[in-house]
Amino acid sequence: MLGAFWRDILARLLDVEGLTFDDVLLLPKRSGIVSRREVSTKTRFTRRIELNIPIVSAAMDTVTESAMAIAVAREGGIGVIHRFTTIENQVSEVIKVKRADNIAIEDPYTIGPEATVSQAAETMRRYGVSGLLVVDRGRHLLGVVTHRDILFQPDDALVRDCMTPRSELVVAEPSVDIERAREIFREHKIEKLPLVDSSNRVVGLITSTDIVKRSMYPLASRDSKGRLMVAAAIGVKEESIDRAEALIGAGADALVIDVAHGHSEMVIKTLRKLRQMFGDDVEIVAGNVATREGVEDLAAAGASAIKVGVGPGSVCTTRIVAGVGVPQLTAVMMCAEAAESMGVPIIADGGIRGSGDVVKALAAGASTVMVGRLLAGTDESPGAVVVRNGKKQKIYRGMASLYAMLGREVRMNSDDMEPLLDASEYSYYAEGVEAYVPYTGSAADVIRQLVAGLRSGMSYLGGRTIEEMRKNAEFIRISQAAVRESYPHDVERV
Ligand code: XMP
């Protein structure tokens, strides 16, 4: 005879069956959608941040630094700059995103007139810009110096002797709007338009490339000042509070408390502390969790969005090492149900292998998906392309993989792990692997394919919005034979 306690445990065991993306398909629904262009992929990243597409790039050191965050934000999603570096480096990555294709740069890079050509070249190289404003100590505009001006000058020539002087510059007042700026660029055939106040002090800069880019990326995620949006990850150690302050100071639009076990006292404590410091002014994402209780506790502590996923990632071994996790589709469903009543969006993090999984994750209740592997092989991920066996590849690694952990210990000597006596012991703690992934070209192409597939899924489900799609969604469970049937089969692929 089973005791009541064990009956209860067994009943609970049998009740909850964990399913993931390949276990299900969505039923096609009657649809009035004629063209896939009719659907809107607008969604929420956090309580207050809206996005035009539900794609978020993972906070991993082989996925998201400024180049990736810029690419994802231009397409309408958002990138999370990883935290596995010094505060200074992470802040500088955030600043690079904030300065990329914004309408007016508020604090343009400047140089003094007595600087040399080689100093100017070094400053331009360091900040990745093609020109500098030349100012005196009071930031009064004296001229502009560009790459072209210094190209054939000796290294020790002075900036003041090769710049375009103030008398020949076209400038505008700080309140100039984008249409007027466009006219000025057209009329004067210039590339840089400094903004100066009535005493000729520099207060901003508009560049022609930024204006062009603005029309090239109509869906881009922008803040209230027109700058690209970016999120940045933090941990839960002491230094995380300083990190959070520095990142917000640099203009990060959201903080992401990024730890493997998000349903922990440390995360709740950090979240509460940040809420005390910033009030409601800052969007704070927390995770990862995979249960209702996890969502409820993080939402109660003030999370603006909750990241869901314990072990589904392509380079994760948590489930093998720790025996812990929830298959991702079930995790998203349970968590989304709990989050809905609290008005907190869910980010489905890990295990997304293509657009079909994006559709399923959103239909299951997520508002966005976080992707690592799918973006790790692109031009914009950190790291070089390597050629192996004649194929172009990039390296992708779990942040709890052996080499990622060892690298951090050497670089920063701080993380969310217990300090260990001997580096070799890390191998016992690894919960991720290092891997090669195929080189896949530009991040924009990968993202556009995901969004095209999402639009297709929405039209099969008759949903003009993600919300509508979710309401119409009905999953069916499928057999292994059906999984095989879903992929190309019985043909020799060319
Ligand atoms: P994908 O499937 O897109 O997943 O590659 C990316 C997500 O994987 C998580 N991640 C890890 N999980 N060990 C883990 O168990 C790790 O070393 C690790 N590194 C990353 C993370 O949530 C990421 O967004």
* Domain assignment of residue 414, yes or no: no
Last residue of a domain, one of 193, 214, 235: 214
Low-confidence ranges of the chain (pLDDT < 50): 413-421
The answer to whether residues 224 and 207 belong to one domain is no
Instruction: Assess contact for 255 and 287: CB atoms under 8 A.
Output: no
- State whether 61 and 145 are in the same domain: no
d(CA 393, CA 379): 11
Same domain, 204 and 311: no
| Domain shared by 249 and 209, yes or no | no
Q: Which of 371, 321, 323 is nearest to 350 (CA)?
A: 371
Distance 438 CA to ligand 1 centre (A): 17
Structural domain contains residue 254: yes
Residue 77: CATH number of its domain:
3.20.20.70
Domain that holds residue 243: 19-101+220-398+433-486
In a domain, 464, yes or no: yes
In angstroms, the CA 412 to CA 401 distance is: 16
Both 95 and 191 in one domain: the answer is: no
Same domain for 230 and 378, yes or no, is yes
Ligand 1 site, CB within 6 A: 58, 60, 260, 288, 309, 311, 313-316, 318, 349-352, 370-373, 398-401, 431-432
Count Cβ neighbours within 10 Å for each residue of 172-203 and write b for 16 or more, e otherwise: beeebeeeebbebbeeeeeebbbbbeeebebb
Residues 80 and 139 in one domain: no
> Given the CA of residue 258, which atom of ligand 1 is nearest to it?
22
| The pLDDT value given to residue 311 | 95
**Confidence (pLDDT) at 1:** 56
Question: How many Å is the maximal CA-CA distance in the chain?
Answer: 96
Active site residues: 316
> Is 7 a member of any domain?
no
Assess contact for 202 and 194: CB atoms under 8 A. yes
CA end-to-end span of the chain, whole Å? 60
Q: Which of 186, 214, 242 is the last residue of a domain?
A: 214
Q: Are residues 273 and 301 in the same domain?
A: yes
412 occurs within a structural domain: no
224 token code pair: 């209230």
Residues 86 and 153 in one domain: no
Closest atom, ligand 1, to C-alpha of 432? 17
Residues 243 and 294 in one domain: yes
Ligand 1: which residue has its CA nearest to atom 8? 313
- Provide the token pair at 351: 């295990």
Residue 435 CA to ligand 1 centre (angstroms): 12
- For ligand 1, the distance from its centroid to the CA atom of residue 85, given in whole angstroms, is 18
Q: Hey, what are 432's tokens?
A: 């991720």
Q: 150 and 31, same structural domain?
A: no
Asked whether residue 416 is assigned to any structural domain, the reply reads no
Q: What is the DSSP string of 430-466?
A: --B-EEEEE--B-HHHHHHHHHHHHHHHHHHTT-SSH
pTM for the model: 0.84
Ramachandran quadrant class, 52 (left: phi over 0; alpha: psi -120 to 50; beta: rest): alpha
From ligand 1's centre to the CA of 124, what distance in Å?
Answer: 36
> The domain spanning residue 175 has which CATH number?
3.10.580.10
- The two tokens of residue 30 are 């009657």
Which protein residue's CA is at the shortest distance from atom 7 of ligand 1?
350
Pick the atom of ligand 1 nearest to 430's CA: 17
Same domain? 132 vs 59: no
For the CA of 312, the nearest atom of ligand 1: 2
Within a domain: residue 405? no
> 319, 374, 399, 431: which to mutate for ligand 1, most atoms within 8 A of CB?
399
Count of structural domains, the chain = 2
Report the pLDDT value the prediction gives residue 418, as an integer from 0 to 100: 45
Asked if the structure places residue 415 within a domain, the reply is: no
Angle at 249 between CA 272 and CA 128, to 5 degrees: 140
Instruction: List the beta strands (DSSP E) in 242-345.
Output: 254-258, 283-289, 305-308
Q: What is the DSSP track for 89-118? A: HHHHHHHHHHHTT-SSBSS--EE-TTSBHH
Of 189, 214, 239, the position where a domain reaches its end is 214
C-beta neighbour count of 321 within 10 angstroms: 15
Q: What is the pLDDT of residue 449?
A: 98
